Amino acid sequence: MPEVEQIEMTLEGFNHLKEELEHRKIVVRSEVAERIKVALSFGDLSENSEYDDAKQAQAENEGRIMEIEAILKKVRVIDNDEISKTNVTLGSAFVLRDEATGEETQYTIVGAKEENIFENKISSDSPVGQQVLGKKKGSVISVKAPIGQLKYKIVKICKD
């Protein structure tokens, strides 16, 4: 039997997915069912865009529920003890300084399913994530970008 591929994830990401799953099963399912019920009350389904929209929303919600359940079956939650203060590991928060501009930004390295650039959570599979994993404070990394090679220095590592 083939080994199931594990998805590494922080505890925060795992809890977020569980909350989303519960919300979709309880709240969104109920809301969509109500939309379908209302749309059915309009009668003729052949030109009932409300019904079509509600059924589409139902399909999207059920698809996401199945996706989350599949992810949760494969998750290996990274224990807080596994997060290093000396090397960048999954779950580490770290500060990068752009060598060209001197600008410093804090990021957290997370599993691929947790990535959120708006919260400065970068995937361990991303180009930057791959470059910083295992590196120590003071290390300089180089990342290929459409505008050319970008260089960053790791100036701080901490547990998030």
pLDDT per position as a tens digit, 8-60: 999 999 999 999 999 999 999 999 999 999 888 877 777 778 888 999 999 99
Residue type, 63: G
In the prediction, which pLDDT does 46 show?
74
User: How confident is the model over 77-103, as pLDDT tens digits?
Assistant: 988 777 878 899 999 999 999 999 999
d(CA 67, CA 147): 35
Token digits of residue 122: 């970068």
Residue 123's H or E segment, with its range, is strand 121-123
Assign 160 a pLDDT band (cuts: 50, 70, 90). Answer: low
In the prediction, which pLDDT does 41 show?
85
Token digits of residue 129: 């994530």
Token digits of residue 37: 């019920």
User: How confident is the model over 99-149, as pLDDT tens digits?
Assistant: 999 999 999 999 988 999 999 999 999 999 999 999 999 999 999 988 889
Q: Which domains does the chain have, with CATH numbers?
A: 7-77 (1.10.287.180), 82-159 (3.10.50.30)
d(CA 150, CA 152): 7
**Residue 63 confidence (pLDDT) above 60:** yes
What SS3 state is found at 33?
A: helix
In the prediction, which pLDDT does 2 show?
58
93, 97, 103, 105 alpha-carbon torsion, rounded to 10°: -10
In the prediction, which pLDDT does 39 show?
85
In the prediction, which pLDDT does 121 show?
95
